[in-house]
Amino acid sequence: MPKGISRAAAKIPSIHDALKTEYGDLDCPLDYRTPFQLLVCAVLSAQCTDKKVNSISPSLFAKFPDAEAMSKTTPACVERVIRSIGLAKTKSRNIVNAAKLIMEKFDGRIPDTIEELTMLPGVGRKTANVLLGHAFDKPGFPADTHVIRLANRIGFAKTDNPVAIERIVNQNLPPEQWCEFSLLLIHHGRNACKARNPRCDDCAIANICEEKKKMLPRKDAERGRNRAKRV
């Protein structure tokens, strides 16, 4: 068995199906109209909530709606609009420089391959996969902090490396389900399998989750100690 892959990796399709039954069809939580706007929103979303990004992006796109307009402004101008978002200075610089590169190297076209997307400032593999899956309807599995946490808790990965987790999913799920599976895991992580106080007793995949199985002996032992105290 390859390093980093657990026996639960083979259950990834079942995990997908259970979460799909629980949550149904999910849309991208970021508000955008064009691939460029999604690119900007994805860059802004690093260490920031989607809700916050969606509250700021309309003002930003009213001033700079596309790569051409963004390439002609300065990071300082962008920073003034997004200053309430964390890492505003760095994100502003990356967004403007990405727009310039899009205009200079790609003739204003947002690239649609992971190799080209990751050439853009501020665009890592996760952001590139967001673009592939939502803007271009191409296979892509974005692995954010929720995905990494759930992959390890559920047990289909034993690594914090997002590229390794992406590889595990890609090996065990049809490409057309990669983007959807990421959304389902993220939604489940935000609503049920939270970092603190996960709702394990009300979980759609409790029968598959390795962490849930580990908790059962601990709960049995705790009940035993409580009974002993009462005697």
Residue 24 located in a structural domain: no
**Mean pLDDT across the chain, nearest whole number?**
90
Residue 230 located in a structural domain: no
Residue 47 located in a structural domain: yes
> How do residues 178-219 score in pLDDT, each as one tens digit?
999 999 999 999 999 999 989 998 899 999 888 877 765 444
Residue 57 located in a structural domain: yes
DSSP state of 132: I
Residue 104 has a CB neighbour count (10 Å cut-off) of: 10
Residue 65 located in a structural domain: yes
Domain limits for position 48: 35-109
Catalytic residues: 126, 144
**DSSP one-letter string for 2-30:** -TT--GGGGGHHHHHHHHHHHH-----SS
d(CA 44, CA 27): 18
d(CA 23, CA 204): 10
Helices 145-154/178-191 angle, 10° precision: 90
Structurally, how many domains does the chain consist of? 1
Task: Look up the CATH number of the domain holding residue 85.
Answer: 1.10.340.30
Residue 167 located in a structural domain: no
d(CA 220, CA 81): 54
Residue 64 located in a structural domain: yes
> How do residues 57-95 score in pLDDT, each as one tens digit?
999 999 999 999 999 999 999 999 999 999 999 999 999
Residue 80 located in a structural domain: yes
C-alpha gyration radius of the chain? 21
| Token pair recorded at residue 75 | 């990071």
**DSSP one-letter string for 64-110:** --SHHHHHTS-HHHHHHHHTTSTTHHHHHHHHHHHHHHHHHHSTTPP
**224 band by pLDDT with thresholds 50, 70 and 90:** very low
Query: 33 Cβ partners below 8 Å, 6+ apart?
Result: 61
d(CA 96, CA 111): 16
